[in-house]
Structure 1
Amino acid sequence: MPDLAPVRPRPRAARFATLTAIAITLTVLATPLTPTSALAANGPLAAAPGTLAAAPGDTDDEGGTASLREQLDVAAKGYLDAQAALDNSTKRQQQLATHLGTLEAELVTRTQTVAELAGMAYRTGRLGPLTALLNSDSPDGFLDRASSLGTVAANEDRQLRNLIEVRDQEQRAKAAIENEIREQRKQLDIMAKRKQQAERALAQAGSGGASAGVTASTTSATAKPAPRNADGSWPKESCSVNDPTTTGCITPRTLNAMNQAKAAGFTRFVSCFRSGGSGEHPKGRACDFAAETGGFGGVATGGDKTYGNNLAAYFVKNASRLGVLYVIWFKQIWLPGSGWKAYNGGGDPSSDHTNHVHLSVN
């Protein structure tokens, strides 16, 4: 039998390289594939692992231009602020008109009462002390009668004068409210003109034309309203709460909109804050809701497009409750006061919003 050649040990460097390669391989195999802007581990809307596209880029994440997005932001926000002020003024006017009607009805009753007292005084001789005395059985009866009639008449006269004064004050207040409403309507007209300017900007960018809009296949749920100020306006909010979809921040109103969408059944991948680019994402006032189950892919079709249609319709229906500035979906943009318009973002699925629904919040 021939002798077997001895097994020579590998050099130390070779053994180290082999172990390192094995460790790297195991690490890669143990790491799931997720989007570059994947949700935090405890995020409310989980992203399924797999071959997913990343969130829209940081440099031009919503298509169009920074100037266009700024005009859309200003026009929509101004429109919403003026609409809230007008609604508040109209409510106050209605309350005042109701109160004024009650006072005027009371004024009629008081006027009739005083007229009856005046007629009684005339018939019983209250117009003169001597007549009142002659019609009395005794001096004490005259004094009692004169005092009683005088007190009642003076009291009614005082109430009547006070009521007239209050009515005049209410009428002046009503006129002031009507003037305020005229001013608010004037502001609303100005905002409408600014909205038209934004629409002209859309047209210059190849957008803003006629749009078929979005048809939902289901009835949209009603969202829980975000808090407003006492006058109906939206409180100013900063990027102050943690964004559960990234490591950034969003506004409380944006968080409410996202949570309400989740509660309504829209639980697919979401990405909100992004540090780069223009628009509302860096301000924490916007979120992108993927149409596909796992993340941002190509142009949505079939059930994915239906999902996007339903989600876009949900945001439009609840725009006043959630403080929606605008919604972009499938080459269309919804603006308050003007509805759906065509939107040309740039040709790719992310810029044209054919793979996600963009939500901007006031």
Structure 2
Amino acid sequence: MRIVLPREGSRPLTVLAVAVAVAVAVLLGAVPAQAEPNEGGSKKLRDALAAAAKAHIDATAELKNSKGRQKELTTELKAVEVQLADLTAQVGEVAAQSYRLGRLGPVATLLESTSPDEFLNRAMNLDVMAQRDGRRVRELTEVRETAENAKVAIDSEIREQEKQLDVLAKNKKAAEAALAEVSSGGGSGFGGGSASAAPAPRNPDGSWPSESCSVNDPTTSGCISPRTLHMLKQSQADGFKRHVSCYRSGGGGEHPKGRACDFSAAPGGFENVTATGGDKAYGDQLATYLKNNASRLGVMYVIWYRQIWMPNTGWRAYSGGGSPAADHTNHVHVSMY
């Protein structure tokens, strides 16, 4: 039996080419389409979330600093009170001695001198005693003033803490009001432990330094803030090495400012499907890592799998529009302070 191969341009070759093309199309259709993350929600919502989160972080830093100052002042006051008690006893002895000797005591002491040299020695000793007693009285006055100032400062710090607690309560209400647009209530969250990230640099007072989009973004051709780069490197060092995209020129939110990143749940990139199995577990672990290290890295909020975490609200339900990208079921979004 002789097999005849189809000639180029013949009908059998055309049918074969069509069949191959159909097979390729079917195979390609089985591969999830790639989709650039779409954060969902309105610009007003994103701005409100950012404002509430920033205000919370600032108030938390002020509260922490105030408590630190109060602790230092309390320690100082205790030391001053010990010194005050000692000086009070010393000045009391001086007063008692003056009462026993009477106002003519020093004169009588000089008159009892039996020689000019003894008279001079007694006069010098009396002068030294007067200077010593006067110094004790002055020290007592100064220490009392220091103690009073410390008490006033402690009262001021307590008032500052009450003020910041009030600010935190107001910011929580503001965040919850903003979330009402996309949230139906509390979320279950993604519990568990995680590695501790190395802290990002802070100002001497503990606040976050103001940063711009000033360093190269290794995930795109754009820029990100130094703190965002630190978060990215720490996350990758702690095992989260799947595809990441940070800077985005268009849209609202923190991406154009270089203060946000999207971590794909799937190894190959942003698949336009809801993550399941190992991909879902990867996203759960990453969201937990970012939440647990928020205060070390400067995380403002995290969105993953229809939930959003903010420091003043905890996990809340989140609905971005229904698609895997908008609902963040195919990637973890993190916005930085």
Residue 145 to residue 202, structure 1, CA distance change in 2 (3 Å) = same
> Residues 222-301 of structure 1 correspond to what in structure 2 (within 5 A)?
222-297=196-271, 298-301=273-276
Give the aligned residue type for 2:310: L
Indicate if the aligned counterparts of 1:249 and 1:273 stay in contact, CA closer than 8 A: yes
Distance 2:188 2:131 in 1: 72
CA distance in 1, matches of 2:124, 2:33: 95
Residue-pair matches, total? 307
User: In 1, distance between residues paired with 2:98 and 2:82?
Assistant: 25
- 2:80 corresponds to which residue? 103
Correspondences of 1:324-335 after superposition (within 5 Å) = 324-335=299-310
Q: C-alpha distance in 2, partners of 1:160/1:354?
A: 74
CA contact (8 A) 2:168 2:312 kept: no
Shift of 1:135: 5.1
The CA distance in 1 between the partners of 2:281 and 2:40, in whole Å, is 22
AA aligned to 1:293 is P
User: How is 1:351-362 mapped onto 2 (pairs within 5 angstroms)?
Assistant: 351-362=326-337
CA offsets, 1:181-237, max 9 Å, x none?
A: 42353244234323312312322x240502111123xx3111111111111111111
Indicate how the Cα distance of structure 1 residues 66 and 189 shifts in structure 2: closer, same or farther if over 3 A, else same: same
Identity of aligned residues (%): 58
- How much has 1:276 moved relative to structure 2? 0.8
Quick one: which amino acid aligns to residue 97 of structure 1?
A: T
- Partner of residue 86, structure 1: 63
Q: Secondary structure at the match of 1:357?
A: strand
| 2:283 is the counterpart of 1:308 | yes
Query: Taking structure 1 as reference, are residues 112 and 72 closer, same or farther at Cα in structure 2, changes over 3 Å only?
Result: same
Amino acid in structure 1 at the alignment position of 2:206: G
Give, in angstroms, the shift of residue 129 of structure 1: 3.2
- The Cα of 1:156 is off from its aligned counterpart by 3.9
**Secondary structure class of the residue paired with 1:236:** coil
Cα shift at 1:155: 2.5
Q: Kindly indicate whether residue 96 of structure 2 is the aligned counterpart of residue 115 of structure 1.
A: no
Deviation at residue 238 of structure 1 after TM alignment: 0.5
SS in 2 for 1:328: strand
Secondary structure in 1 matching 2:325? helix
Tell me if structure 1 keeps the 8 A contact 2:62–2:164. no
Aligned counterparts, 1:11-30, within 5 A: none
Q: Distance in 1 between matches of 2:205 and 2:51?
A: 21
CA 282–177 in structure 1, closer or farther in 2 if over 3 Å, else same = farther
In structure 2, the residue matched to 1:178 is: 155
Q: Does 1:164 align with 2:141?
A: yes
**4+ residue segments displaced more than 6 Å:** none
* Distance of 1:168 and 1:209 partners within structure 2: 54
The residue that corresponds to 1:14 in the other structure is none
- Asked if 1 retains the 8 angstrom alpha-carbon contact of 2:275 and 2:330, the reply is yes
CA distance in 2, matches of 1:157, 1:52: 89
Distance across 1 between alignment mates of 2:239 and 2:289: 11
Q: Which amino acid aligns with 1:256?
A: H
Q: Is the 8 A contact 1:271 1:288 kept in 2?
A: yes
Q: Which residue of 1 aligns with 2:321?
A: 346
Deviations 1:14-33 (A, max 9, x none): xxxxxxxxxxxxxxxxxxx9
Match of 1:212 among 168, 185, 188: 188
Partner of residue 20, structure 2: none
Q: Which residue identity lines up with residue 64 of structure 1 in the other structure? A: G
Partners of 1:295 and 1:314 in 2: how far apart? Answer: 20
Q: Secondary structure at the match of 1:334?
A: strand
Conserved 8 A contact 2:80-2:146? no
8 A contact 1:68–1:198 mirrored in 2: no
Partner residue of 2:9?
A: none
TM-score normalized with structure 1 length = 0.78
Cα pair distance change 1:189/1:125, threshold 3 Å: closer
1:193-204 to structure 2, matched below 5 A, reads 193-203=170-180
**TM-score between both structures, scaled by the size of structure 2:** 0.83
| 8 Å contact from structure 1 (residues 270, 289) kept in 2 | yes
CA change 1:130–1:173 in 2 (3 A) is: closer
